[in-house]
Chains A and B, each alone.
Chain A
Amino acid sequence: DAKTTQPPSMDCAEGRAANLPCNHSTISGNEYVYWYRQIHSQGPQYIIHGLKNNETNEMASLIITEDRKSSTLILPHATLRDTAVYYCIVSSEWIQGAQKLVFGQGTRLTINP
C-alpha cells in the first residue's frame, strides 16, 4: 500500500504557482520523498526527490516539513503543459539493491488558461 495521502484533484491558473501537498506521516528516518508526474498516455516522469532538506531543480521545488510528515511540491509558474497526475512517493523497501516505488492514486492537477 502507498504510504502517502494526496488530494485527488487540484486546479491552478496558468502562470501561478501550483502547490501540491502530500502527507506521509509514517515515513521513517531513511526514507526519501519522490515526486513523479504522468501526462496523459505517457510514462511517469521523475520530477524531484528529497530526504529532509528543501530541494529545487529546473522543474520544481520540494518543501519538506521539519517533522518530515508532509511535503509540498511547488511548480513556480504553471503552464498548460503541467496538466498531469502528480504522484508523491515514499521510498519503500530495498531488496537485492533494488528499490520498489509504490505509486498511489496521485493528484490530478489541471492548469486552466
Chain B
Amino acid sequence: DAGITQSPRHKVTETGTPVTLRCHQTENHRYMYWYRQDPGHGLRLIHYSYGVKDTDKGEVSDGYSVSRSKTEDFLLTLESATSSQTSVYFCAIRSPGQGGMANYGYTFGSGTRLTVV
C-alpha cells in the first residue's frame, strides 16, 4: 500500500543467522506494528511502537527484537533465526482517529516472506 513499504519481500536464511526486516512509512504516523501470519493462527502481534525509541512486546515476542530510531523506520530483528520463525511478516501503521480513541484503521504493508532453513 502507498505510504508503507517492507523490505525485503522474500528472504531465505539459515538457522542461527541474524535477520533484520525493515518497515518504512512515509505517513509520519506514530504507531507501527509487526505481525506474523501462519496457517491456522491468523495474524499475531510480535512488537509494536508508539514513538521513536518507544516499543513494547506483543503476544509472540520471544526471539524477536525491534528498534525505532526514526519515525519512518521500524526494524524487526531475529537475533538467531529458527525454523519456527519461518512465516510471513507484516508491518502496519495506524492512522489517527477523528475524535476520541476511535481507530480509523491500520494500513498494512505487502509482507515479507521469510524462510529459515
Whether a CB of chain B sits under 8 angstroms from the CB of A12 is no
Q: A43-B108, A106-B42 are in contact. Are A98 and B31 (CB under 8 A)?
A: yes
Residue of A nearest to B1 (CB): A43
Q: Residues of A contacting B111 with CB < 8 Å?
A: 41-43
Proximity bits, A77-113, B CB within 8 Å = 1, else 0: 0000000000100010011111111111110000000
Q: Report the separation of the CA atoms of residues A32 and B101 in the bound assembly, to the nearest whole angstrom.
A: 10
Q: Which of B35, B43, B94, B101 has the most C-beta atoms of chain A within 10 angstroms of its own C-beta?
A: B43
Q: Residues of B contacting A97 with CB < 8 Å?
A: 30-31, 50
Q: Report the separation of the CA atoms of residues A6 and B12 in the bound assembly, to the nearest whole angstrom.
A: 34
Q: Residues of B contacting A96 with CB < 8 Å?
A: 50, 54, 56
Which bracket fits the contact residues of A? 20 to 34
Which bracket fits the contact residues of B? 20 to 34
- Would you give 15 A-B contacts (Cβ < 8 Å), ordered by A? A32-B102, A42-B110, A44-B106, A44-B108, A49-B102, A49-B104, A49-B105, A91-B103, A94-B101, A98-B31, A98-B33, A98-B49, A99-B94, A100-B59, A105-B42
Interface residues of B (CB under 8 A from A): 1, 30-31, 33, 35, 40, 42-45, 48-50, 54, 56, 58-59, 90, 92, 94, 101-111
Interface residues of A (CB under 8 A from B): 2, 30, 32, 34, 36, 41-46, 49, 51, 87, 91, 94-106
